[in-house]
């Protein structure tokens, strides 16, 4: 008499993706703001780190706009990875745990190998973008490279509109790739221990299933990033933590 065992239920290879309305990113911002107000000390610590990193970058690069523009854009590409501590703050708040800053600073240890792989992917993407940024500058400023003040005036007043169109078109391609693969991937790796490839695929699927909402969300991120740039990174003190917390709630909303 053979013993029969019940078959093990099969789990889908990827989590189910929810579809959300276009205005849902506003709710993510609202929830992110609530996290920021509930844990201001820990959240603003990361905001200060963003500001300090930006100011250090400007000081190191000597005010050269061809480098600062590329690195600032790369700062946005790597933003999801830099916000791991903010994701952990939001996660701990949902679990009704205290806002322990030390605990958030070591959250990456829960899935360090896959986070390292994903960080390497973002680093390669940033390096390619930085090179492309320098090429665009070289094409449009073949004579004398502008100072940082001149460059900011061109951005605000739309002087050299041909350069701005080319620069943001090229940058938009890299931003779209980074946005697609990192939309929910890092929160997913932190929260559920998924591998980097699965998390990136889930992230792309979430974007494709919610294109109107993702268009709004990408616009909000670009707006906040622009505010940080024109305020010489001071605006990142609030915008960085707010977007980090909101991204966690985007993940919770988009991935079932």
pLDDT at site 100: 87
Is pLDDT at 152 greater than 70 in this prediction? no
| Mean pLDDT, residues 27-31 | 96
Residue 242, token pair as written in the block = 């707010």
Burial (Cβ within 10 Å: 0-12, 13-18, ≥19) of residue 25: buried
Residue 216, token pair as written in the block = 């709004």
- Find all residues with CB under 8 Å of 107, minimum gap 6, and list them: 84, 85, 87, 88, 190
For the chain, the domains span: 24-254
* pLDDT classification of 148: cutoffs 50, 70, 90: low
Residue 9 falls in which region: left (phi positive, over 0), alpha (psi -120 to 50) or beta: beta
Is 191 in contact with 108 (CB distance < 8 Å)? no
Higher pLDDT, 5 or 214: 214
- Kindly tell me the number of DSSP H helices and DSSP E strands found in the chain: 13, 0
* pLDDT classification of 150: cutoffs 50, 70, 90: low
| pTM beyond cutoff 0.85 | no
Q: Which of 28-37, 138-147, 152-161 has the highest mean pLDDT?
A: 28-37
């Amino acid at each position: 008499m053979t013993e029969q065992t019940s078959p093990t239920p099969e789990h889908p290879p990827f989590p189910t993706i929810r579809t959300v309305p276009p205005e849902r990113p506003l709710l993510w911002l609202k929830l992110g703001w609530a996290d920021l107000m509930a844990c201001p000390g820990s959240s603003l610590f990361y905001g200060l780190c963003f500001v300090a990193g930006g100011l250090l970058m400007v000081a190191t690069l000597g005010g050269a706009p061809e480098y600062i523009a590329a690195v600032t854009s790369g700062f946005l590409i790597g933003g999801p990875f830099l916000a791991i501590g903010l994701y952990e703050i939001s996660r701990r708040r949902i679990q009704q745990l205290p806002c322990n800053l030390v605990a958030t600073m070591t959250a990456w240890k829960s899935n360090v190998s896959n986070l390292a792989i994903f960080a390497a992917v973002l680093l390669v993407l940033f390096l390619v973008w930085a090179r492309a940024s320098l090429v665009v500058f070289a094409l449009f400023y073949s004579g004398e490279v502008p100072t940082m003040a001149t460059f900011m005036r061109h951005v605000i007043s739309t002087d050299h509109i041909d350069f701005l169109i080319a620069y943001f078109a090229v940058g938009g391609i890299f931003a779209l790739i980074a946005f697609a693969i990192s939309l929910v991937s890092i929160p997913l790796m932190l929260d559920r221990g998924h591998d980097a490839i699965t998390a990136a695929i889930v992230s792309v699927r979430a974007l494709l299933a919610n294109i109107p909402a993702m268009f709004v969300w990408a616009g909000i991120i670009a707006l906040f990033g622009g505010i940080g740039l024109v305020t010489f990174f001071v605006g990142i003190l609030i915008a960085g933590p707010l977007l980090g917390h909101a991204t966690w709630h985007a993940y919770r909303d988009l991935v079932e």
